[in-house]
A and B are shown apart, each in its own frame.
Chain A
Amino acid sequence: MEKAIICKNLTKQFGDFKAVDSVSFDVAQGEIFGFLGANGAGKTTAMRILCGLSYPTSGEATVAGFDVYKQQEKIKRNIGYMSQKFSLYDNLTILENIEFYGGVYGVSGAEIKTRSNELISTLGLEKEAKKLVGELPLGWKQKLAFSVAIFHRPKIVFLDEPTGGVDPVTRRQFWDMIYEAAANGITVFVTTHYMDEAEYCNRISVMVDGRVEALDTPANLKNRFNTNTMDDVFYQLARGAKRSGD
């Protein structure tokens, strides 16, 4: 199968401190890949490199087939990104937000129009389309933010704790959207602190102190650690951590 992300001995060093320590993993095209780890484990640093925001110190990595050293621009064109912080503009309407992000990614005007109509009807937001985003409830905003992150049809979407502060029902709906995106061939790379969400992933990796300590399907990991909750798997792996905090 074609690989969306390949990392080989990826390392990022700040002085003596190895934020990311020789990490290797692959993510298949269309896979939902959970990227777990306690705060300070190095998730964010690794993700920054994969998003084309910083260079690794050593090792290799390609994202959507592009090299993280030389082809940052091309990587950026082929990925979408959504963060834990809410990322739409409150004083723009839903349509204007979509137009703005579509425009920034260079989607043509006509294409923006058809896709945004489509998007608004799938989300059932016809009445709200001309309302300011600030007036929407948080759950709606998050769903909209995700739709906007994949609006330009990226190959891979990076989700950095996308469901923080969202109620369980909306979280469930949010994951339905993720599944749908994956079914359409978009690779989903997601970080989360919710272990029930980890279960939804095809495979997960757990980072501890800059290294990937475990990488497998949720079922296999539970077998290996001889437990039936992901919580427990995570706890057993993470309690050995020497670093903590951000």
Chain B
Amino acid sequence: MKQLLAFIRKEFYHVFRDRRTLLILFGMPIVQIILFGFALSSEVKNIGIAVLDNARDVQSEQIISRIQSGSYFQIKDAALNYRDIEQRFKQGEIKCAILFPLNFGSDIYKTGGAQVQVIADASDPNTATVVTNYLNNIINNYQQELNPTAKLAYQIIPEMRQLYNEEQNGSLNFIPGVIALIFMIVSTALTSVAVVREKELGTMEILLVSPFKPIMVLIAKAVPYLVLSLIDFIIILLLSVFLLNVGVRGSLLLIFAESILFIITCLSLGLLISNLTTSQQTAMLISMMGMMLPTIFFTGFMFPLENMPKIFQWISYIIPSKYYYAIIKGVMLKGLGFGYVWKETLILAGMATGLLFVALKNFKIRL
């Protein structure tokens, strides 16, 4: 036990004296949370809009003032003509435009069917959809206010709720994804590099000749990174609660337990990689390419899995982070209990056991 402690202390020295490792350990999670939380926000705000108001009557003015009042749109100087609008779209100054025809106001009352044109830049389809929906809502609301007493003979009023994230906070979804990603980096990549470094330096020989058991070498390597992963995890949780206002709904204990399970899976992967490689670069490359990219692509936190071709969906089943992502999303964001995530937990536990077994079996005593 004392031997193990001496070893673990040594590992911490390595970590805290290596600036690059420190940067990856503590810089990366913070930068990622801030990036995903603010820069890559999927919410749409402050969209540039051009208004071409040929009507200049009360009705068009009222609609325009509504567009202006929210935080969604930012009206650029009134457009002069059609060509002007096109020019601004090309320059990227505006994402959408709204055009009122000459007799907009009077058409409403005389013909009962006034027209208004909404144009959106669909080179970014998501934004375009969101923007046209916003405008549609504004116009519909206005229309209802115009004739509050009018009633259709039959009316269906859908009452819509966006569960678990009613305020449409865009940061929610990616937090479990970032956590999975960080675990992959710390537990898999850094651990495999730490083991392979001993091989490269020749210190592994010394350790194997010592009475220290080979299995203990692996444990001593794994424990510090388990601890560091958990610290990262706490940092991310704190950032998401206090910086991004994403509350933790489910049991914190369950979240921690599931995270430890996933960290063990990642550590086993890292140890397995370190058994198969002899240079730090190879270990890093395999961890990055083989583990991190699939985490980004196949967990569904960046790209919806349902839209992928079947073959990619099958591949996603062998990616451990997919299950962890599902668990954390469920427990943290939806407040689900263990009863809802036991299947994923079981699969993850199976993967952890299998990987750990293979890693330990392959750990070769080599001089």
Contacts and interface: CB of A to CB of B under 8 A. Distances in A.
Given A76-B210, A105-B210, A100 B367 contact: no
A83 B205 CA distance: 8
Nearest to B210: A104
A91 B21 CA distance: 13
A100 B2 CA distance: 11
A224 to B, nearest CB: 32
A89 B202 contact: no
A100 B198 CA distance: 14
Nearest to A96: B13
Interface in B1-45: 2-3, 5-7, 9-10, 13-14, 17-18
Interface stretch (A1-9, A14-22, A47-55, A191-199): A47-55
A106 B2 contact: yes
Interface string B202-215: 11011111111000
Given A96-B10, A103-B5, A85 B202 contact: yes
Nearest to B366: A53
Contacts of B5: 103
A73 B211 contact: yes
Interface residues on B, range: 20 to 34
Contacts, number: 82
Interface string A85-101: 11111111000100111
Interface in B158-185: none
Contact of B211 (A53, A77, A92): A77
A64 interface: no
A148 B210 CA distance: 12
A44 interface: yes
A90 B203 CA distance: 11
Contacts of B212: 104
Q: Which of A89, A100, A104 has the largest count of B CB atoms less than 10 A from its CB?
A: A104
B201 interface: yes
B7 A103 contact: yes
Contact of B6 (A48, A76, A103): A103
Interface string A56-92: 0000000000000000010011010111111111111
B6 A99 contact: yes
B6 A100 contact: yes
Contacts of A102: 6
Contacts of B210: 76, 81, 101, 104-105
A158 B367 CA distance: 13
Interface string A23-50: 0000000000000000000001001100
Interface string A163-196: 0000000000000000000000000000000000
A153 to B, nearest CB: 14
Contact of B7 (A79, A81, A96, A100): A100
Interface of A: 44, 47-48, 51-54, 73, 76-77, 79, 81-92, 96, 99-106, 132, 158
Given A87-B202, A90-B201, 20 more contacts: A51-B209, A52-B209, A54-B367, A76-B210, A77-B211, A83-B205, A83-B206, A87-B201, A87-B203, A89-B13, A89-B201, A91-B13, A91-B14, A91-B17, A96-B10, A100-B10, A103-B3, A103-B6, A106-B211, A158-B209
